[in-house]
Every structure is written in structure tokens, then in C-alpha cells.
Amino acid sequence: MHLIKWLSGAAVGTALLLAGSPSWAVTIGFSQVGDEGDWRPAFSKDMQDEAKKEGIDLKFADAQGKEEEQLKAVRAFIAQKVDAILIAPVVTTGWDQVLDEAKKAGIPVFLADRDVDVKDKSLYVTRISADFNLEGRVAGAWLAQASVGQCNIVEEQGTVGSAPAIERKKGFEAITANFPDMKIVKSQSGDFTTDGGKKVMEAFIKSTDNLKGICASFAHNDNMQLGAMQAMKEAGLKPGHDVLMVSVDYVPAMKEALAAGDANASVELRSAIGKYIYPVMLQYLKDKKDLPKWVKIPSELHRAATAGN
């Protein structure tokens, strides 16, 4: 097993410490979902930049949205005897066996961003991520006040079976359940992509006679909302005016849409999160102390009036 390669000589260690470099070399295998939307590539870049800063040898594998690619990547990392494996899982299910293989090989597994649904929680050390359910609740609470609790909503869901799609929906509905006149009347997956969001909104526009009686669009991410906005504009509708637009991520294009009044609110999902993830992993590799099963990263609401803040 290729564990942390501690430097043996005290003098070398001291010199490295004085130079501000880490005193050991660590290899981490990172299985990333893919590059859908604007948020994911920003997250990948941050992970690569932060790895360089930390002196980590990062083996990056892009799964192109396919769980089977992630399973292959994780098995390749096990064969390469990396020090730790980090996974941003496409979907929550199907992980028990491969995580068990990593455990048997003595390689600790960490989750970034998305969650897994495994019977044995000891198969991974911890998940470092934002609270998707909270993001859904924040979006729902914003809409409840903006619509005074009276709203027919169309929903663009993220990738079916993914943690953010499951949790954001649950969180949002936990709020709307308190308002008898707030309900999701149409819901479809746009797979977290701009194209997907556009197609879903085109279908909603058709099936509701140009969004007649629809008060809001809740999209599980900004890219789907940006696509939905295009579809609405092509149909002669004004997003942000005719229909309230609330979504999650707060990517640069959404900041512009909020500033232009084409959208109303976005819950920020931070993408520069390597600075939260790597220190947790490195500390664990150093001392092997148990960690809570979830290390949370905060999320913030941005409204049209605060766009750019």
C-alpha cells in the first residue's frame, strides 16, 4: 500500500517547512462528475489550482456524467495505490461495492460536493460539501415571500438520482408545503445543462399555453434557468417580470442576468472549495482521527437587488 510518503530526514523536513511547502508528498485520485454547466468546470479548476498550492499530486478523472466511468476511475486509483480517493458522485446509488474494494485496499475515500447512499457509512471518511436541502429551502422561502405564498411553479430538475436534484427538491417542497396556494404544477429534468433547461421550458411553454397562470420557475441550477430564460424570450415572454426566476449556483452569467433583471434570485453554491476539502483530507492522512460524516460549506442567497455583491 502506498501510504503518505513521510520525509525521513529531520533537516529536510525543517527546510521544507521553512520554505512553506508540505513536509510529505500525497497522491490523490479525484473522480469528477463531468463538465456540465458553468459551476462544475469552475470547481474542477479550483481543485487543480489548490492541489498545486498544497503540493498534492492530483490524478484527475472526468467521468463525462457517467457513473460507470467513475467506477472505472476509482478502480484505476486503487490499482495505482493512491493515498486517498476523492469522489464527486454523479448519482447517489451503486457505490457499495467499489467503496468496499477501496476500504479493503486500505485507501480512504472522501466525498466532495455530492452524496452517496450506502448501507455502511464507514466506507467513506467524510463528505465535504454544501447543504443542498438548505439551498432548496432558501429558494422556497425566497419565493414564498416574493409571491406572498400564492404561486404555480414550474420546476427544472437536475440529473435524476443525483444528490442535488433529490435534496433541492425536498428542501423546496418542505417550504411550499406550508402554503396551500404554492405548488409545483410541472416538473421535468434538464440534467443540469443549459440545453436541457431550454428544452424543458419549451415543453412547459407549450403545455401551459405560454406559461398562463405560472408564477415562477425554480431550476435546480443556474444553467438550466439560463436555458429556460432563452426559451421564454424566444416565446416573447419576459423572464424575471412575467415569471419569477429562482435557481441555485450564482455563476457569473446568472450574476449578469440578475443585474439585468432577467432573473430574481440565485442561491450561491461556492465553487472555490478546494481550500475546504484538501485540509480535511491532509489532516486525516496525517492523524487518521475520526471526522464527522459531513463537513458543511455555507451557501448564500443573492437577489436581483444584491447582484454583484
Residues forming the site for ligand AHR (CB under 6 A):
36-37, 39-40, 113-114, 164, 192, 221, 248-249, 269
- Distance separating alpha carbons of residues 225 and 108, to the nearest angstrom: 37
- Distance separating alpha carbons of residues 145 and 182, to the nearest angstrom: 11
Q: How far is the CB of 16 from ligand AHR (least distance, A)?
A: 35
Q: How far is the CB of 244 from ligand AHR (least distance, A)?
A: 19
Nearer to ligand AHR among residue 41 and residue 55 (C-beta): 41
Nearer to ligand AHR among residue 152 and residue 189 (C-beta): 189
Q: How far is the CB of 138 from ligand AHR (least distance, A)?
A: 13
Alpha helices in the chain (DSSP H): 10-18, 39-54, 67-79, 96-104, 132-146, 163-176, 194-207, 222-234, 252-260, 274-287
Q: How far is the CB of 150 from ligand AHR (least distance, A)?
A: 28
C-beta of residue 184 within 8 angstroms of C-beta of residue 216: no
Q: How far is the CB of 286 from ligand AHR (least distance, A)?
A: 28
- Distance separating alpha carbons of residues 243 and 217, to the nearest angstrom: 7
Nearer to ligand AHR among residue 147 and residue 188 (C-beta): 188
Side-chain half-sphere CA neighbours of 99 within 13 A: 22
- Distance separating alpha carbons of residues 90 and 70, to the nearest angstrom: 8
Give the sign of the dihedral formed by CA 129, CA 309, CA 34, CA 135. positive
Q: How far is the CB of 127 from ligand AHR (least distance, A)?
A: 12
Nearer to ligand AHR among residue 126 and residue 152 (C-beta): 126
Nearer to ligand AHR among residue 126 and residue 221 (C-beta): 221
C-beta of residue 94 within 8 angstroms of C-beta of residue 41: no
The C-alpha cell that represents 291 in the structure block = 471526522
Which of helix, strand or coil describes residue 128?
A: strand
Nearer to ligand AHR among residue 78 and residue 201 (C-beta): 201
